[in-house]
Amino acid sequence: MTDFTWSELDERAVKLAKVLSADAVEKAGSGHPGSPISLAPVAYTLYQHFIKHDPNDPNWAGRDRFILSGGHASLTEYVQLYFSGYGLTLDDLKRFRTAGTRTPGHPEYGLTPGIEMTTGPLGQGLASAVGFAYGQRYQRGLLDPEAPAGESPFDHKVWVICGEGDVEEGVSSEASSLAGNQQLGNLTVIFDANHIQIEGDTKIAFSEDILKRYEAYGWYTDEFSFIQPDGSYNEDAEGFAKVLEKAEQVTDRPKLIKVDSLIAWPTPGKTNDPSSHGSKLGAEAVAGLKKELGYDPEQSFQVDEEALAHARKVADRGLEAHKAWDEKFESWKQANPDKAALYDRIAAGKLPEDFDKAIDELVAGFTAGSKVATRKASGAVLNAIAAVMPELWGGSADLGGSNNTNIKGAASFAPDEYATVQWPTVSKYGRQLHFGVREFAMGAITNGILLGSNTRPFGGTFFQFADYERPAVRLAALMDIPNLFVWTHDSVALGEDGPTHQPIEHLAAMRAIPQLEVVRPADEFETAEAYRYFFEKNNTHPAAFILTRQGVPSLEETATKAKAGVRKGAYVLVDTEGEPDVLLLATGSEVQHAVAAAKSLADEGVKARVISVPSLEWFEEQDDEYKEEILPSTVKARVSVEAGLAMPWYKYLGSYGKPVSIEQFGLQGDGDENMRDLGITAEHVVEAAKASIEEVKAARQ
């Protein structure tokens, strides 16, 4: 390699990385020291010679993205961030895994400069990295599609280090298959093959040829070993760099480079030992490691200042790269003023000027009294928004027609040779995503798209199969990123597919995830306003839109009240004169039953207030005054109406409230029959309201 140099100072920097990793875990009393020790030369080579980054500006738009998928090896990354000058200090390393630290046990997005995403649950880093690569390609197509490869300011690479645990998790297989299918040449994965897990040698559970597996996915593969044929060990950084340089010449496929290593090398007694994976090494082993590397075994966090200063020079190279990028970016802006305006808007997270108008014009065509499935309404709203919001793109896990997540007239995101009879228009910059039956990968990839670009993705599946996607949903909520999950077929009313497809506990389960906003609109009016508020809200929370398969009536009340009410999370849909006798709280397709019940109760002289509750999370954001206005504490008789577990509603029902809910698995049969058989009817709401009123009266006597 003509531009690669490796000096004694580089060797010393790698040794320093090993010692600091051992000391940090030892001081914390827990952690995963083995991989950071053996990965030190790999990570150092990447950060110093291959990853384009500017430590002076961790959020520089032109940077490459690096993801440590095996988040337990977090010190691998923290030490390189410290070396590179990202603002991490030696004290940060000393505070590894402690309260209030910037160096937690697993990398956390938004906490530490230079960390691109939260990793920890194995496989999701690698799977989300596929999304980073998706996002880079789509954004380039949006802003600079005609530039020669590698010449656009929107060209950058995605780098990953992963281990056996990552490729054992199924989500990495799902996403890697898609990466090969999409020919994502901007993605390079370094697979650390140290053959060690907590339970010991990985061959007890993992024995396939990983290179052949990834070759079958359509990836470029190569291998480099620090373990020599004679059994000796040589951390040959120059040889590793040559393999990487060769891989970089491949631009039509993602790359997997297997590196054979010995965990914790050269720690005496701990090299290639499973105990070094997930436990501190112990004072004796750490002292032995320091002796091997020329450090004083009596000192902790000893720093080779000369080696550190040498490593810090990467920041100077980063400044130069950033300056060159700035010049290229300015030239692009001058030549493409319209695209530059688009970039400025999406980079700032602003909506297009015609956003509200697009929704208003769509809503103007809705008709109260008609019967429309909210999934169909959702599809109409997505397409209306997409017409003015080119950064919006998405698709479904093989359910686009059922989820109504297809963007009309859009090319599919795929290489030209993968056009089909059903999808004849394809483009590497296409807007319509196809995930196949891969719900978990879809969630991880859309997370990665959000994190790695300025575009806004969405993904759809049946609500029941959100179970398969849930770990990615949880990670989106943990990172607090505004991913949009579109889940249809929301209840037993989907009908003949039977109990396996009918969600029961899912609303309660999703509402249990902190920072996830669950939205279940009553009809097409509420659906449109839910989308409006989600995008206007411009906060960081992800949202799940829960939508019906069956047609539901478009209500007269929502036609006039939804625009102001939906954004409050709960609002009065039907009211009474004076204080109501009972409050009826309902969501989604059950709002119609609450409205019908209120009319029946009124005929009997009972005053019932109907409250539509499209989102409990949005309602909880309101002040106490508004909550009291909607749910007056003086009204103790209350009924919740929702075709799922009652669990989330007891907070609002109080001591005398009655849930109209489903507390069993679904049924085989027609959807309307299922709802009737399981008590989701206006008649049952009336009965529950009367029972609640009677209990309140009895308690007051």
Closest C-alpha among 99, 71, 75, 106 to residue 88: 75
Which two structure tokens, joined as six digits, stand for 93? Answer: 């390393």
The 8-class DSSP code of residue 54 comes to -
Cβ neighbours for 80, distance < 8 A, ≥ 6 positions apart: 17, 43, 44, 46, 47
Structure tokens at 237: 């950084």
Residue 584 near residue 635, CB atoms below 8 Å: no
Q: CB–CB of 446/482 below 8 Å?
A: no
Give me the phi and psi of 363, to 5 degrees please. -65, -35
Question: d(Cα 172, Cα 305) in Å, to the nearest integer?
Answer: 39
Q: DSSP letter at 368?
A: T
Contact in structure between 691 and 656 (CB atoms under 8 Å)? no
Pairing of strands 638-641, 582-586: parallel
Q: Which of 101, 248, 127, 136 lies closest to 179 in space, CA to CA? A: 127
Tokens 């839910």 correspond to 530
Amino acid at 205: A
Which residues, other chains included, contact 607 with Cβ-Cβ below 8 Å and sequence gap of 6+? 576, 577, 578, 579, 580, 581, 582, 601
Structure tokens at 108: 């956390």
User: Choosing from 164, 439, 590, 617, which is the catalytic residue?
Assistant: 439
- Does the active-site annotation cover 164? no
676, two tokens:
């009737």
The answer to whether 134 touches 184, Cβ cutoff 8 Å, is yes
> Distance between CA 135 and CA 94 in Å, rounded?
36
For the annotated catalytic residues, the residue numbers are 439
